[in-house]
């Protein structure tokens, strides 16, 4: 946790500098196209943009220490409220997409490693190549074109729930969980229908690194001395494969999951825009267009905190899975 502090400080500094280095002037944007120089200058003074970068930075850090992430100039609401309102939508999409990728990639990687050179191995390599090569926005648009436009199997890709349904009562912000709590099967099925295409888009993106790492780690484990000893001892194939080989191969796979989750948070920005998903990715793009400094900095900081939290969680899971990864005595 202490090692995460320099990373967070670095993110705060870099995001502050980069937002001000981006083209565009928020004072001009909010003053309006017909505003004169005096009006623009008044807006700039009201936003505190007439001060030096150093003054603005220390004011920003002082507000962060007090828990104030600033106010979104576009919506007029505190940035923390905007992010917390949209974060469940992004996390729901990311977690389900990662779950689909794990369910497909791990068995595929194990089968490819146990049958090298087979058709399963070739399919694994093909999916890995496609997942690495195809950008998420292309995959999303392609799926929309096939399953919504041509076949009509999917609902309109416009948000978390079709316009014919009412949103479930807010409890957790996760529509799947809230619809279950409300006991409304119709809304639950509607939420699942909206999630299919965007989660598959993210899942295909996440499948490639997980399947590749699983295959490589399993190949290394299956060729190790302890696996040969287990086979020579007469243990069953399933016990050798799952208990001995996969448990040791799972360590790099778990590390990869933490990295992939972080990548998916970044890929969410494009996927949310393609599917009109009201998450923090869409909020960040709108803030960038408007040069809304506080909103952009809040988005970057929230991503950094999520990244640190996920990596800390992965470290704990690794130590539980293999005590050798624990703290040194």
Instruction: Classify domain 82-279+321-325 by CATH architecture.
Output: Orthogonal Bundle (1.10)
Helix axes 136-143, 247-274, angle to 10 degrees: 70
Q: What is the pTM of this model?
A: 0.81
Blockwise average pLDDT, block size 10, the chain, 329 residues? 82 84 71 71 74 83 84 82 89 90 88 84 82 82 90 85 83 89 88 91 87 86 83 82 80 83 80 87 82 84 84 80 61
CB 253 within 8 A of CB 213: yes
Structure confidence at residue 96 (pLDDT): 92
- b (16+ CB within 10 A) / e for 52-80: eeeebbeebeeebeeeebbbbbbbeebbb
For residue 136 the two structure tokens come to: 């998420």
- Residue 78, SS3? strand
**Residue position matching structure tokens 């409304």:** 184
Q: Where in the chain is the domain with CATH 1.10.3720.10?
A: 82-279+321-325
* Residue 71, beta-bridge partner list: 78
Euclidean distance between CA atoms 212 and 310, whole angstroms: 21
Q: Is 291 in contact with 285 (CB distance < 8 Å)? A: no
């Amino acid at each position: 946790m202490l090692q995460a502090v320099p990373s967070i400080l670095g993110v705060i500094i870099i995001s502050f500098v980069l937002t001000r280095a981006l083209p565009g002037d928020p004072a001009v944007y909010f003053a309006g196209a017909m505003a004169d120089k005096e009006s623009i200058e008044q807006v700039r003074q009201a936003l505190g943009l007439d001060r030096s970068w150093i003054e603005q930075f220390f004011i920003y850090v002082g507000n962060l220490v007090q828990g104030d992430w600033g106010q979104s100039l576009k919506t007029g609401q505190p940035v923390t409220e905007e992010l917390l309102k949209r974060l469940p939508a992004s996390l729901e999409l990311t977690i389900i997409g990662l779950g689909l990728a794990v369910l497909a990639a791990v068995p595929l990687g194990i089968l490819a490693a146990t049958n090298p050179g087979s058709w399963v191995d070739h399919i694994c390599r093909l999916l890995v190549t496609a997942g690495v090569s195809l950008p998420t926005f292309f995959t999303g648009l392609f799926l929309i074109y096939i399953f919504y436009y041509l076949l009509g199997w999917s609902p309109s890709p416009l948000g978390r729930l079709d316009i014919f349904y009412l949103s479930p009562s807010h409890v957790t912000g996760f529509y799947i969980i809230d619809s279950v709590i409300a006991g409304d099967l119709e809304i639950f099925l509607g939420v699942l229908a909206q999630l299919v295409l965007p989660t598959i888009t993210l899942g295909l993106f996440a499948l490639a690194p997980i399947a590749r790492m699983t295959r490589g780690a399993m190949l290394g484990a299956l060729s190790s001395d302890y696996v040969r000893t287990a086979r020579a001892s007469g243990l069953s194939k399933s016990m050798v494969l799952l208990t001995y080989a996969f448990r040791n191969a799972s360590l790099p796979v778990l590390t990869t999951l933490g990295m992939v989750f972080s990548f998916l948070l970044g890929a969410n920005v494009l996927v949310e825009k393609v599917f009109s998903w009201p998450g923090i990715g869409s909020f960040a793009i709108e803030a960038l267009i408007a040069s809304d400094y506080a909103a952009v900095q809040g988005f970057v900081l929230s991503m950094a905190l999520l990244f640190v939290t996920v990596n800390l969680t992965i470290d704990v899971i690794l130590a539980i899975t293999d005590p050798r990864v624990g703290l040194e005595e």
